[in-house]
A and B are shown apart, each in its own frame.
Chain A
Amino acid sequence: MIFEQITDMIGNTPLLKIAPEAHGLNNIDLYAKLEMMNPFGSVKDRIAWAMVQDDIEEIKAKGQTIYENSSGNTAKALQAIANIHGVNTKLVTSLAKVEVVKEIVLMLGAEIEEVMGGSECFDPNDPNDPQYLIAKMVKDDPDKVYFPSQFTNPKNPDIHYRTTGKEIVDDLNRVDYFFGGLGTSGSTLGAAKRIREEGNPNLVTVGIFASKNDFLPGVRSLDQMWESGLFEKDNYTDFVHVDSGESIDAMMDLVRKSGILCGPTSGASYLGTLRYLAKIDPQLTERKTAVFIVCDRIEWYVDYIRQRRPQLFGQKLKAGSLRSFDQAIVEEKCVVPVEIAEDWIAQHDPIVVDVRGNLAYRMSTIPNSINIPWELFETMIDGSDPFPKDRPILLVCPVGEKTARYAAYMQTRQYKAFSLGGGILAWRNANRQLTKVEVGAVSGIR
């Protein structure tokens, strides 16, 4: 399949039938509309291109900058498109919450401006609303600013009417239930309209909301929807609220049972879909068809997922390893008190290992010590035998807690390991000698 331009690859996404064993519904065929297969990775590719397509040459000719209220998928797609056409973008947004998406957008070359604001703002008269700010910038300098305005632009639902909805109807003819997360509400608005007109006038459209304090990328809470100019409450038969943690569980279900490597918002749509349909399914006397939207991909949500479901990343602890060591620490056996530490060092000539970060080590450490930051140290000691067993080792950390445990553990492996009591803090407070490893500029310091 040969394409001339990457924007030609937007749309015509596959519709994947979810196996009944995976979703557990008996009377409903469930399809996932894989918007993650768009070239920049999300459903927003469609609206980004639709909003600027007709004007992009003029934007370039006039030397305008594209401003948009997004730091997520819309921002990513807009920036990718703008790059191809040699146009600059500036993204104005309330606090972005998915760091990785923001970082990708920055990598692509966008300028991001975050506005403080929202409900924690102390000045009630502060018009700190991205939409308002961009509108003001357009007013101040209409020649230089181009504002697609995804939250109000009718081209947003329209492209879903012309493409997303049409594709679904062409593939399935009849659809009974349609589910999508609500952000700008453009996709559910436009696609549902097309399905109602050509597939089924009695289509049941269900909007998926996030609970307000519980952030789902690209999805808003019901009260935030009032701020979207496109939102039409009457377009929906019903709404389902979901929580971000359980959305990730549902996402993992799609990942593991159906091989769809989608993001948490798709999990939210799947969860809302199953919640809604599970109630209806047993009462059905004829087969029905349901579609939900898989809006983007899993990759940029790793940190987001880790915060909410850390157990997904938990590796099994190896028996006998430092990480699984939980024996009581006998101070007398493994700690060298700071009062006698200098004499002890002179007498035993230990390898002194400072396990603090490298920056701290370079700023100030115990003479003749070497530096193995504790993350590295733990990996080394669990994976190998990195020290001689016949020479004493003195371990140093900030306050002596971490290294007391290390020493106790290493002694079980026949190392002559000891911890400096009270750590480097006690050493400094006892006015013992400290040295600077490196004088002058230290990396990490600007």
Chain B
Amino acid sequence: MTLALEAGKQSAVSQETSRRRPKVTPLMHSAIGRFLANKQLVFALLDGLGSPLNVVFPRHILDTIARFEDVYRNRQLQGKVFYTSKPNKSISLKKQAALTKVGLDVSSEGELITALRSGFDAERIEATGPKNIDYLALSAQQGIIVVVDNFTEFQQLVALNNLTGKRKTRILVRLNGFDSGPIKFTATDGILGFSVKDAPAVIDYLVEHKEDFDFLGFAFNFYAGDYSRRPSAIEACLQLTFECLRRGLTPKALNIGGGYVVQYAADQNEWNAYIEELKASVLGSRPSLTWNDSGLGFRREDGLLKGAPNFLEHYHKKAGHEDLAAILDNPLPAFDGYSTSRILSDNMIELYVEPGRALVDQCAITLSHVNMAKDSMMGHQLVVLDMNRSNLNSNQLQLMTDPVVVHREAPTQLADDGVMYVGNLCLSHDMIQYHKTFPDFVPQTGDAVAFINTAAYQMDFSETDVLRQRIAQKVALVESAPGQFRWFLDDLYNPLALEMKIKP
């Protein structure tokens, strides 16, 4: 106890500095660290393939898949982990994932075509999301699992199968709007799925159309961190599953969707300190940390802090597979306190999960050239990157970790008051990050800046050729021995050929 206190006092000076210049070091896979330390390769790729550049590490997905599968194994659970296609457009990641046992969750016709092209067979693909007739028809014709969202889709599927004479379509039924039991939630409306109130009508329909559908079970999906609605949703879906069994249907799975949190920040104390300083800055007790003092969702009202952040929590004690494990081990009051995993395993019900963010954790970074360093009108240090906000941000959610700066030459200009990264659009609001970060030195023309862990909803989710600026190339990197990298254009990466030692 005393030791910790003394250490605390001794580092008081450095703590003062770290409060003035708070950092959020990104959590980073060691291989990404080794790549960024290889300046020659970093600049060869960025200079040769252009800025911005998304660098994908396809083999890292094998680690996250294995960790999720361990959660199943440790609980004697059957079923499937579905890799979610939508967080990025990388082909190499899908090809790599296709060589494992995971399924693939697609949400458009284009994604379905890409999935088939990446080596996934129809047996393990499921189609989610709102569906136009082309998407629905291709799904039915390929015999993939359709996650039915509404009665129109039901009717269209029946009509499609009558026309094509196809076998039964495998379906899941997506539910939403669950009752939360004695704990009330402020109502949040939803777009996707059937209302759980319509479940009896859905079951009647399924019984009536037994010959048209191979009904696999119910599905739902919540955002990351939505811990308190999940248990009641799981309970409701399980109860409906048993109801279906009694009605003579043969559901065999429960799909609890995704929403497993990702840890972006390396250090809890750093993350907490940054947020404390951000809030203090909104209240005016320290120099601002945000562009035009916009507060990232926080505001000052009658001397008090109000609002909610427009970024995700970046530090979690239990992230990814551990988050799933905690959800599965949570006792369900409606089932005598048995856990979800126990009810599923006991009743031979398979578990489907769709980890979007969590499965591509540490699978990509985004690199950019620095065009120049300059001052803003009010004297803030700007660093102008050769990328724009469509190359990084999505869902209005900010990536809060500090980018890693790779200097081409030995840097000289200290970045004492921090820097803000802005983009290459001729628009006054093209901010790459709306908050200040504090690198040791100001990045200069020709330097490289790397945003870490951008594979999910960041690197290419909302990219456009706005103002005819470049769209980022994707390059797949494979580490053959520590520090030894081979690179491929993302869609030319072929893990099977590599395995077979066939020279491309």
Q: Is A322 an interface residue (CB 8 A)?
A: no
Q: Is A95 an interface residue (CB 8 A)?
A: yes
Chain B, 141-162, contact with A by CB distance < 8 Å: what is the 0/1 string? Answer: 0000000000000000000000
Q: Are B186 and A113 in contact (CB under 8 A)?
A: yes
A214 to B246: give the CA distance in the assembly, Å.
45
Out of A119, A424, A445, name the residue touching B308 (CB < 8 Å). A119
Out of B246, B276, B306, name the residue touching A132 (CB < 8 Å). B306
A114-B245 contact, Cβ under 8 Å, with A120-B225, A398-B345: no
Q: Is B4 an interface residue (CB 8 A)?
A: yes
Q: Are A445 and B239 in contact (CB under 8 A)?
A: yes
Q: Is B205 an interface residue (CB 8 A)?
A: no
Nearest CB in chain B: distance from A405 CB, A: 12
Residues of A within 8 A of B182 (CB): 106, 112
Q: Is A174 an interface residue (CB 8 A)?
A: no
Out of B184, B224, B246, B261, name the residue touching A112 (CB < 8 Å). B184
Q: Are B183 and A359 in contact (CB under 8 A)?
A: no
Q: Are A212 and B275 in contact (CB under 8 A)?
A: yes
Q: Are B316 and A213 in contact (CB under 8 A)?
A: yes
A114 to B184: give the CA distance in the assembly, Å.
6
Q: Are A119 and B276 in contact (CB under 8 A)?
A: no
Residues of A within 8 A of B242 (CB): 363, 442, 445
Q: Are B317 and A213 in contact (CB under 8 A)?
A: yes
Q: Is A401 an interface residue (CB 8 A)?
A: yes
A213 to B343: give the CA distance in the assembly, Å.
31
A274 to B261: give the CA distance in the assembly, Å.
36
Q: Are B185 and A116 in contact (CB under 8 A)?
A: yes
A421 to B426: give the CA distance in the assembly, Å.
68
A30 to B454: give the CA distance in the assembly, Å.
52
Q: Are A95 and B228 in contact (CB under 8 A)?
A: yes
Q: Are B313 and A115 in contact (CB under 8 A)?
A: no
Q: Are A223 and B347 in contact (CB under 8 A)?
A: no
Within 8 A of A (CB), among B284-328: 297, 303-313, 315-317
Give the tally of cross-chain contacts (CB within 8 A): 159
Out of B6, B184, B224, name the residue touching A279 (CB < 8 Å). B6
Residues of A within 8 A of B397 (CB): 122
Chain A, 117-129, contact with B by CB distance < 8 Å: what is the 0/1 string? Answer: 1111110101111
Q: Are A223 and B334 in contact (CB under 8 A)?
A: no
A114-B268 contact, Cβ under 8 Å, with A356-B346, A446-B239: no
Q: Are A124 and B309 in contact (CB under 8 A)?
A: yes
Nearest CB in chain B: distance from A246 CB, A: 9
Q: Are A274 and B1 in contact (CB under 8 A)?
A: yes
Chain B, 1-27, contact with A by CB distance < 8 Å: what is the 0/1 string? Answer: 110111001000000000000000000
Nearest CB in chain B: distance from A129 CB, A: 7
Residues of A within 8 A of B276 (CB): 212, 221-223
Nearest CB in chain A: distance from B180 CB, A: 8
Out of B5, B227, B305, B308, name the residue touching A226 (CB < 8 Å). B305
A124-B308 contact, Cβ under 8 Å, with A113-B184, A399-B345, A425-B78: yes
Q: Is B395 an interface residue (CB 8 A)?
A: yes
Q: Are B317 and A399 in contact (CB under 8 A)?
A: no
Within 8 A of B (CB), among A17-35: none
Out of A111, A126, A213, A271, name the residue touching B272 (CB < 8 Å). A213
A445 to B347: give the CA distance in the assembly, Å.
14
A122-B308 contact, Cβ under 8 Å, with A357-B343, A446-B239: no
Chain B, 342-381, contact with A by CB distance < 8 Å: what is the 0/1 string? Answer: 1101111000000000000000000000000000000000
A116 to B309: give the CA distance in the assembly, Å.
13
Nearest CB in chain A: distance from B483 CB, A: 33
Nearest CB in chain B: distance from A109 CB, A: 11
Residues of B within 8 A of A221 (CB): 272, 276
Q: Is A229 an interface residue (CB 8 A)?
A: yes
Chain A, 10-48, contact with B by CB distance < 8 Å: what is the 0/1 string? Answer: 000000000000000000000000000000000000000
Q: Are A113 and B317 in contact (CB under 8 A)?
A: no
Q: Are A113 and B304 in contact (CB under 8 A)?
A: no
Q: Are B6 and A401 in contact (CB under 8 A)?
A: no
Q: Are B335 and A122 in contact (CB under 8 A)?
A: no
Q: Is A309 an interface residue (CB 8 A)?
A: no
Q: Are B188 and A120 in contact (CB under 8 A)?
A: no
A363-B347 contact, Cβ under 8 Å, with A113-B184, A120-B226, A124-B309: yes
Q: Are A425 and B185 in contact (CB under 8 A)?
A: no
Residues of B within 8 A of A128 (CB): 186, 308
A112 to B343: give the CA distance in the assembly, Å.
28
Q: Are A226 and B310 in contact (CB under 8 A)?
A: no
A128 to B242: give the CA distance in the assembly, Å.
35
Out of A106, A116, A211, A275, name the residue touching B1 (CB < 8 Å). A275
Q: Is B280 an interface residue (CB 8 A)?
A: yes
Chain A, 299-338, contact with B by CB distance < 8 Å: what is the 0/1 string? Answer: 0000000000000000000000000000000000000000
Of A116, A118, A127, most B-chain CB atoms within 10 Å: A116
Q: Is A360 an interface residue (CB 8 A)?
A: yes
Q: Is B469 an interface residue (CB 8 A)?
A: no
Nearest CB in chain B: distance from A214 CB, A: 8
Residues of B within 8 A of A424 (CB): 348
A226-B304 contact, Cβ under 8 Å, with A122-B395, A444-B334: yes
Q: Is B499 an interface residue (CB 8 A)?
A: no
Nearest CB in chain A: distance from B2 CB, A: 5
A229 to B301: give the CA distance in the assembly, Å.
11
Nearest CB in chain A: distance from B241 CB, A: 10
Residues of A within 8 A of B315 (CB): 213
Q: Is B336 an interface residue (CB 8 A)?
A: yes
Q: Is A428 an interface residue (CB 8 A)?
A: yes
Residues of B within 8 A of A401 (CB): 76
Chain A, 141-171, contact with B by CB distance < 8 Å: what is the 0/1 string? Answer: 0000000000000000000000000000000
Nearest CB in chain A: distance from B379 CB, A: 27
Q: Are A211 and B309 in contact (CB under 8 A)?
A: no
Out of A118, A121, A132, A223, name the residue touching B279 (CB < 8 Å). A223
Q: Are A444 and B336 in contact (CB under 8 A)?
A: yes
Nearest CB in chain B: distance from A248 CB, A: 15
A73 to B345: give the CA distance in the assembly, Å.
38
Residues of A within 8 A of B279 (CB): 223, 226
Q: Are B306 and A129 in contact (CB under 8 A)?
A: yes
Out of A114, A364, A397, name the residue touching B183 (CB < 8 Å). A114
Q: Are A211 and B347 in contact (CB under 8 A)?
A: no
Of A118, A223, A271, A363, most B-chain CB atoms within 10 Å: A223
A271 to B184: give the CA distance in the assembly, Å.
36
Q: Is A342 an interface residue (CB 8 A)?
A: no
A116-B342 contact, Cβ under 8 Å, with A132-B306, A363-B242, A445-B239: no
Q: Are B224 and A120 in contact (CB under 8 A)?
A: yes
Q: Are A115 and B306 in contact (CB under 8 A)?
A: no
Q: Is A370 an interface residue (CB 8 A)?
A: no
A223 to B239: give the CA distance in the assembly, Å.
42
B275 and chain A: residue at smallest CB distance: A223
Q: Is A50 an interface residue (CB 8 A)?
A: no
Out of B4, B243, B269, name the residue touching A211 (CB < 8 Å). B269
Residues of A within 8 A of B9 (CB): 279
Q: Is A98 an interface residue (CB 8 A)?
A: no
Residues of A within 8 A of B245 (CB): 363
Q: Are B312 and A120 in contact (CB under 8 A)?
A: yes
| 13 A–B pairs (Cβ distance < 8 Å), ordered by A | A114-B183, A114-B184, A121-B308, A124-B297, A211-B268, A213-B272, A213-B317, A223-B275, A223-B278, A223-B280, A226-B283, A275-B5, A425-B78
Interface residues of A (CB under 8 A from B): 95, 102, 106, 111-122, 124, 126-129, 132-133, 211-214, 221-223, 226-227, 229, 271, 274-276, 278-279, 356-357, 359-360, 363-364, 397-399, 401-402, 424-425, 428, 440, 442, 444-446
Give me 14 other A-B pairs in contact (C-beta within 8 A), A129-B307, A442-B242 excluded.
A114-B183, A114-B185, A120-B225, A126-B308, A211-B272, A213-B316, A214-B317, A221-B272, A274-B1, A278-B1, A364-B347, A364-B348, A401-B76, A402-B76
